[in-house]
Structure 1
């Protein structure tokens, strides 16, 4: 198949990792995969399996960038693209417009988050052959604006080989609890910090780490978190390390992974932690609840409840055997349900079904 992946992303998050893994795997399976990205996109270097001539950069300024939409339409016609796959809501209108000017192509979108789409998208999404939801919760959200018969749930997958190769560190003098996620209020980093304060008051052998890029509009989220850390007297215990390109480098050091998100459509970092053999504590976001079975493959706590989060972390830090049990159970589930191969095969099936609509 000749496939065009579209993304105007300017930073790397779970959705962008998904796109890169999908595009690379599809190319390795023999498909002619092309990518239309924003200028200076960090995804350019992530698409290692695509020939450079198949990676194009456009302004992709916003959902009303007609100039970029016309360029996309020309790319689709000239390269005889069969499937156009858009991954961000602001790209859906551009992709739909472009596909409308190239009648032989079919439009597929992926929805990665739970936030409701705008009324404009109801009109735009009439051109969609299929919408891929990364979780059942995201699918239910999409059904408010899109015909449910067009919605297909395909959970994210990861390259298990990369995580299975991790060599866990031996017993350390200090324990390390960490979280990975862009610095945005929805990720619940303030709740994580407040929980860390409660834990630090009871144990002096635990450190904490937050990895993620500042995504706040004014780029002041990191400063806000740093002020909270100083006010709680935790500057020596909590470390903000910014963006990390390879999650395995951090996960190999963790004794416990925490997702304190207030809303999560899927939770790719949770899967990566489980695949790395790190026990997980997560808030009961919709995405986490579809991944973790409480008490079997991890622990779930109420959203926004720093005290409950701290108490659960403390119990696990004090029980190595329970951490090991959760680790083993989680590894088994990841291998069964969240492999990259499964995700790619299910996505290929969606593409093939979309192509039958044009016959």
Structure 2
């Protein structure tokens, strides 16, 4: 524990976008930094503190005047404040905000008590009322990569057609899954070589929403060409098998799906929710449409269905774009600069 100079708490057991960020980012940070996670819902491979080790945070770490407590949720900001002010732990508090909405009064109060604040995009930074730095998320280019073999071919999926279109993420209204399904119902009859897949978990409160989407597909007679795969053990091969990835969210924090798709050499059509518009080069690596606009989404998708070669070209351009600007190492370096500035002060 003396060598742990940064703590990345995760106070939410169920998998979320924040948890996914921690899982991907911390191993890269650990290559050059003494960092450990704290909390439930994290895989065994991460370097983790145990709850019984929390009292060790009351002592200074080796080689630094204090530790960094890097929070990403309100509960984690509260935990850091309790440790610092109630138990006098030698630490400074960093908060990363991905939200693209006005923060509630209590959240603003918490944010004002942070020593440094990070925004994951320019848009999320616009909602912060305190000085901050923009450090965009990156993607692990070792885990997400272009096709390398037969298992990455669409034909391996055992689904009809020559080309696949995928929509990834939890099935819910916020994610715009219905916009994707409606676009597929309208377009697939005109493009017999294409097939659509929907990957993602359905929570209990969204079961009715998902059932209605499946009923729409059945009424259209497209059950074999719009396939709900559910929550698959590993979505990465599907990014490589499809020719086009669609991210139709109505509302998003940051949204890693376009980066994961482009790193897999797949073209992207996305709404302008979250940071999507900051990730995609319009007309070069994909297309961006207004959030919630189903007609615009369908038009952008049809551009690629009518010209699969264009989708392949934009997929290749997306791979180069991600490698140049969104490698996970860049995010780790950006956060390290925030930490070092605090330590130097």
- The TM tier, using the shorter chain, reads 0.7 to 0.9
- Give me the whole-angstrom Cα distance separating, in 2, the residues matched to 1:142 and 1:216: 33
State the 1:155 CA deviation.
Answer: 0.5
- Give me the whole-angstrom Cα distance separating, in 1, the residues matched to 2:185 and 2:213: 13
Describe the superposition over 1:99-155 as per-residue Cα deviations: whole angstroms up to 9, x where unpaired. 323342011111223243220122222321111111111111123xxx1x2x11100
Aligned twin of 1:158: 139
- Give me the whole-angstrom Cα distance separating, in 2, the residues matched to 1:16 and 1:35: 11
* TM-score, normalised via structure 1 length: 0.83
Aligned twin of 1:107: 93
RMSD over equivalenced CA pairs, Å: 2.5
User: Are 1:73 and 1:99, in contact at CA under 8 Å, matched by a contact in 2?
Assistant: no
Q: Does 1:82 align with 2:70?
A: no
Q: Does 1:8 align with 2:18?
A: no
Aligned twin of 1:263: 251
Aligned twin of 2:295: 307
Q: 1:119 to 1:314 in 2, by over 3 A?
A: same
State the 1:36 CA deviation.
Answer: 1.6
Aligned residues between the structures: 330
- Give me the whole-angstrom Cα distance separating, in 1, the residues matched to 2:188 and 2:240: 22
- Give me the whole-angstrom Cα distance separating, in 1, the residues matched to 2:310 and 2:102: 38
Within 5 Å, give how 1:169-208 maps onto structure 2.
Answer: 169=152, 173-208=161-196
Q: Does 1:129 align with 2:131?
A: no
User: Are 2:243 and 2:266, in contact at CA under 8 Å, matched by a contact in 1?
Assistant: yes
Aligned twin of 1:63: none
- Give me the whole-angstrom Cα distance separating, in 2, the residues matched to 1:14 and 1:318: 33
User: Are 1:157 and 1:339, in contact at CA under 8 Å, matched by a contact in 2?
Assistant: yes
Q: 1:118 to 1:93 in 2, by over 3 A?
A: farther
Aligned twin of 2:125: 139
* TM-score, normalised via structure 2 length: 0.86
- Give me the whole-angstrom Cα distance separating, in 1, the residues matched to 2:274 and 2:284: 17
Q: 1:185 to 1:92 in 2, by over 3 A?
A: farther
- Give me the whole-angstrom Cα distance separating, in 1, the residues matched to 2:147 and 2:49: 31
User: Are 1:196 and 1:208, in contact at CA under 8 Å, matched by a contact in 2?
Assistant: yes
Runs of 5+ unmatched residues, structure 2: 156-160
Q: Does 1:241 align with 2:229?
A: yes
Aligned twin of 1:36: 38
Q: Does 1:340 align with 2:328?
A: yes
Please say which of residues 171-180 and 16-25 is displaced more in the overlay.
171-180
State the 1:78 CA deviation.
Answer: 5.3
- Give me the whole-angstrom Cα distance separating, in 2, the residues matched to 1:87 and 1:244: 26
Q: 1:307 to 1:279 in 2, by over 3 A?
A: same
Within 5 Å, give how 1:253-292 maps onto structure 2.
Answer: 253-292=241-280
Alignment partner of 1:98 out of 73, 76, 83: 83
Within 5 Å, give how 1:223-238 maps onto structure 2.
Answer: 223-238=211-226
User: Are 1:184 and 1:216, in contact at CA under 8 Å, matched by a contact in 2?
Assistant: no
Runs of 5+ unmatched residues, structure 1: 58-70
State the 1:259 CA deviation.
Answer: 0.6
